[in-house]
Chains A and B, each alone.
Chain A
Amino acid sequence: MDHAQHDDLRKENQSLNRQLQEYKELVDAIKNGSIDALAINKNGEPEIFALESTDYVYRVLVENFAESALNVTDTGLIVYANSAFDRLLNAANATLVGANIESFLDSKSKKAFKEMFRASFSGTSKGELVLSYNGKKIPVYVSMSSLYPRFPGIGIIITDLTEKKEQEIFTSSLEHKISERTAFIQQVIDSSVEAISTFDKDLNYTSINKTALQDLALSANDIIGKNVLEIFPHLKETAQYQSMQRALGGETVFHNNIISQSNGTVYEAYFKPLIVNEEITGVLLMARDITTVVHAKRRLEEMNRELEVKNTELMHTNTELASFSYIASHDLQEPLRKIQAFTGRILDKQSDEFTKTTKDYFTRIIAAAAAMQNLIDALHAYSRTSVLKPEFILTDLNQIMEDVKRSMQEMITSSEAVIDCPTLPTIRVIPLQMHQVFSNLINNAIKFRKPKERPYIKITAELISEENIKEEVALPKRKYWKISVTDNGIGFEKIYGEKIFELFQKLHGKDAYSGTGIGLSICKKIIQNHKGLINVNSEPGMGTTFNIYLPART
């Protein structure tokens, strides 16, 4: 190689090295950040690019915007997206930049987007769209502005409407609920049997329910908004109108007897203040038609009065009757005794002088007098049971039964009657009266025996609870002694079961069986005095059973 050539190459190499060194230093300087700007030759014109750029401020602003800001090309390619857009789609910025904005649109929004996008080329366009990313739909408000001619693209600002939409949905569902609730309440109010209406502070109707409209025979349109005096001028001087005024003053007023002028319907009504936020805003009127109740009450009162009068009359009559029978039976004794005494004497001393017929008549007179004596005695006994108030004594019924048997010894022996009696209880009774009951029943049993049969009387006693008694008793929820007297006598038809306890009732002819027809009435009266019951079971030819129920000791 030529020496001079070699020298040139060496020089050139050194110069290149120098240049390289310079460039390296430039690059290092740029990288170190020790230069402020780069001078660039553009189309022969020098252009200065500040490295610490003035757009820094805007960049920070845009980057930290709450709204999403994008730069896209005219084909929709995203070349810049701020961090708000990353957050909106919940995606990494590097996956968004370089993608087409159309790929983030919900299929239903694509058409609208294209129209907006096209429109933005000649200015600005705005509208609501729906984005879709990873299956999530995001309602947004989009605003597009053309950046031409300085920048080949479109600037897009996207506002997230999710919260707003949710708020709208919430509000509309709230409205729906409120209207449902209102309809429900209206239905309840309309279904009320009470007539309900409301008034404002000037007593203009603000609402009225169906019941009230039916009562007034008016439609809501006739009433709502009108003053109460316009509808019912006659109210002006009434207590009701005053009550409305008092309700406006905060009082609750009750009327129990408002009578409608038009049809005489009777109402009871409340006038109440309507209070909203501690302020009286009007009056609530609730009225109830009580016509039928009032009428029924009136009728009931009338009936009660009538009943009272009748009761008093009845009590009076009863007392009179009782004292009458007592006095009558007592006073009848005396003349009868005289008749008996004198007929007895005549028969004793002069019967020998009598013709056969006279003797027969006389015998009949004496028998009739004896019968009358019996009747008076029985009547006297009966009236005594209701007039006198003897004392209840704890008594052994066995003892009473023994007394009865002793006093009837003759009758029992002559009829050859058998009395089968178990041990009877000891209870509180009026001993004399119980003696009468037992003797009456046994007397009946023997009296109404079958002609050619020996009388057999069976007495039983058992303790039962009140529920087992078919008829109503005076003392519920008590134990009762059921004492039954059963005979094998002639019996009687069931239909007479009640009748035989009535005064002077006799089922059989006077000739066949002796008696006054008072005995069982006395028994019934006595058992009633003891707060008990007496009833009978019988069948013709099958015997009779009398059942006595007496309260047991508690």
Chain B
Amino acid sequence: MKTEAAVDLKKYSFKLFVTGMSVSSTRAIQNIKTICESYLADNYSLEIIDVHKNPMLVQKYDIIACPTLLIERPEPIKRLIGDLSDKEKILKLFNIKNT
């Protein structure tokens, strides 16, 4: 598992809470991967966390539903619930203009 220190080095840091077996979670993973690879290059860290495998993390990060994207950086901490299909809204949250 990646250490916290390593995660902290990147400008953008996300944790995606999913249930890997579901359609929404699958879409959410696909969408965030596409956005990261297209706009953030190497400047991000992304952890995809299966809530069934890590129930303790659900409590720690106060997750209610899946999928939820927890944006740790840039601060302040924000949560996005859903399959992350609204790309414009997410880019706005990252302060990135869609070209």
Contact = CB atoms under 8 A, between A and B. Distances in A.
Contact of A59 (B46, B49, B52, B64): B52
The 4 A-B residue pairs with the shortest CB-CB distance in the complex, in nearest-first order:
A80-B20, A92-B1, A98-B48, A97-B48
A151 interface: yes
Interface of A: 27, 30-31, 55, 59, 63, 71, 73, 75, 77, 79-81, 83, 92-95, 97-98, 151-153
Which of B23, B25, B48 counts the most A-chain CB atoms under 10 A from its CB?
A: B48
B49 A79 contact: no
B84 interface: no
Given A79-B18, A93-B53, A98 B33 contact: yes
Contacts of A92: 1-2
Given A55-B21, A63-B53, A71-B21, A153 B26 contact: yes
Given A31-B64, A151-B23, A73 B1 contact: no
A152 to B, nearest CB: 6
A233 B46 CA distance: 89
A95 B2 CA distance: 8
Interface string B7-23: 00000000010101101
A469 B93 CA distance: 121
B49 A94 contact: yes
B72 interface: no
29 contacts: A30-B64, A30-B65, A63-B53, A71-B20, A71-B26, A73-B30, A77-B29, A79-B18, A79-B25, A79-B26, A80-B20, A80-B50, A83-B53, A92-B1, A93-B50, A93-B53, A94-B2, A94-B47, A94-B49, A95-B1, A95-B2, A97-B48, A97-B50, A98-B16, A98-B29, A98-B46, A98-B48, A152-B27, A153-B26
Given A77-B29, A79-B25, A152-B26, 15 more contacts: A30-B65, A31-B64, A59-B52, A63-B52, A71-B26, A73-B29, A73-B30, A79-B29, A81-B20, A93-B50, A97-B18, A98-B33, A98-B46, A151-B26, A152-B23
Contacts of A81: 20
A180 to B, nearest CB: 49
Interface string B55-87: 000000000110000000000000000000000
Which of B16, B18, B23, B26 counts the most A-chain CB atoms under 10 A from its CB?
A: B26
Contacts of B52: 59, 63
B21 to A, nearest CB: 6
A124 B18 CA distance: 26
A59 B50 CA distance: 12
Contacts of B47: 94
Given A30-B64, A94-B2, A80 B46 contact: no
A75 B33 CA distance: 12
A81 B49 CA distance: 11
